[in-house]
Amino acid sequence: MVSSETATRTGAVIVQAESVTKTFTTPDGHALPVLEGVSFTLSEGEIVALLGKSGSGKSTLLRCVAGLISPSSGSVSYRGTPLTGANPGVSMVFQTFALLPWLTVQQNVELGLEARGVAGAERAERALRAIDLIGLDGFESAYPKELSGGMRQRVGFARAIVTEPDALLMDEPFSALDVLTAENLRGELVKLWEGHGAPIKSILIVTHNIEEAVLLADRVLVLSSNPGRIRAELTVELPRPRDRHGPRFEALVDTIYGILTGREQAAADALEAEAAAQAAPGPAVQPMATPINTPLPDVSPGGLSGLLEILAARGGRDGLAEIADDLSFEIDDLLPLTDAAVMLTLARIDGSDIEITADGKEFAAADILTSKQLFAGYAAKHAPLVRTITQALAATADHTLRIGFFIDILRRGFSLSEARSQLDTAIDWGRYAELYDYDSDDEELTLEPGAQEYL
């Protein structure tokens, strides 16, 4: 684990998670571990970010903190008392706004107060105050359909803070918004927090966006994936508002990027492997990559080709932060693309840079037909799920299988939605490579002629 000095916290502990483990059971009876041994605290006066890729269990952890689901083992406490139900000291802001369309803005904001039995006059007064605080004064009688995405999320914020919770829990609250609206809302949230205008004592935010975490949080907890564990805890000792182009900000973003991409873990694994080899000489046995332990990044072959072409045009090597800035992307937008490039041996990560390989140069320079053939070879060899599908289809008499077969396999390591997403990506890659075709009406995959030569 990579860690940094934890900031001194003067406030009382609001939420404490102790060795939280959560395992779900799939329909076929297999255990699906989502969280394993997660411990952390959230104290008065701090913003903490839970940062991780898909599969890190960060949203599940947030729901454990909210008391919406119970850990399989371990515990979550609110001000020293273990939760046995919903956490009475928190409110949540969701990614999808979660507004009731038949209620007005004011009625949506009053919902939490009504559930707590607050009288009508006080309810209205507190709701109007929250609406004004969040910048929606004048829209009290509007319905959600009349509002933009940013305004609807403001209603979500108002509904959450109107109950004056000890902790505001936010689950990817800006990810459904356009870039400018998200940036504006982040800035206003910081102003409310710094100005102590919001009646809340702490914030716990789930995000996959590195820069968002560094912009907002006092501490960043980086989670690994499948199952989620805290890989690193970093303190952000930067004054607000934070300059995302400042050297200290960029250095911290780069450090977190390295943790998420496993550079530090890879170095640690290499040292451990070397020590083990010295202790017991003999050939090292590498763990076999499988569709479960090596999921496919959610990218298209076209997007991957675009990254490699950009990289080739930059001389074959550049910093990810520099590429993201020039393209007006967040660095997080490049993570799945870089993961895919590294998986297929088309690029390698070196420090904060990405460097194209000889295979990558060949792929980037190839015409469409040649690039398809090259991609077929890379995917069949290095993408475990694509390889598994191709091998399974080749092993059947009619070279055809229904997708339910592969979903059942993937459900041993993923939720149903994650399994379907993995299969969708594999179908996209396999069709582009002309390894197999997919009939959506019959939900069947069929091996393409010539695909077996890549196995």
**What does the DSSP assignment read for 41-85?**
EEETT-EEEEEE-TTS-HHHHHHHHHTSS--SEEEEEETTEE-SS
* DSSP bridge pairs for 35: 22, 228
Beta pairing, strands 347-350 & 400-402: unpaired
Query: Would you state the pLDDT for residue 40?
Result: 94
Alpha carbon distance 290, 389 (integer Å)? 12
Which tens digit of pLDDT belongs to each residue from 406-434? Answer: 988 888 777 788 889 899 999 999 999 99
Higher pLDDT, 322 or 100: 100
* Confidence class for position 26, pLDDT limits 50, 70, 90: low
* DSSP bridge pairs for 134: none
Burial of 20 (0-12, 13-18, 19+ CB in 10 A): buried
Contact 7, 217 (CB under 8 A): no
User: Peptide bond preceding 291: is omega within 30 degrees of 0, i.e. cis?
Assistant: no
- 67 Rama sector, left if φ>0, alpha if ψ -120 to 50, beta otherwise: left
Which tens digit of pLDDT belongs to each residue from 257-270? Answer: 878 876 545 444 44
Where do the H-state alpha helices sit in 20-75? 58-66
How big is the CA angle at 286 (ends 283 and 288), to the nearest 5 degrees?
140
Q: Is pLDDT above 90 for 15?
A: yes
Tokens (6 digits) for 204: 């716990």
Nearest to 137 by CA among 105, 181, 185, 183: 105
Residue 304, classed as helix, strand or coil, is: helix
Distances (CA, A) of 136 to 121, 174, 205, 305, 414: 20, 17, 23, 44, 40
Higher pLDDT, 386 or 31: 386
* Confidence class for position 240, pLDDT limits 50, 70, 90: confident
Distances (CA, A) of 409 to 91, 348, 379, 400: 37, 30, 19, 16
Contact 73, 109 (CB under 8 A): no
What amino acid occupies position 346? L
* Confidence class for position 79, pLDDT limits 50, 70, 90: very high
Higher pLDDT, 23 or 2: 23
What amino acid occupies position 145? K
Specify the pTM.
0.69
Nearest to 39 by CA among 21, 53, 51, 23: 21
Give mean pLDDT, residues 112-130.
87
Burial of 164 (0-12, 13-18, 19+ CB in 10 A): middle
Query: Would you state the pLDDT for residue 29?
Result: 67
Burial of 404 (0-12, 13-18, 19+ CB in 10 A): exposed
* Confidence class for position 273, pLDDT limits 50, 70, 90: very low
Query: Would you state the pLDDT for residue 385?
Result: 94
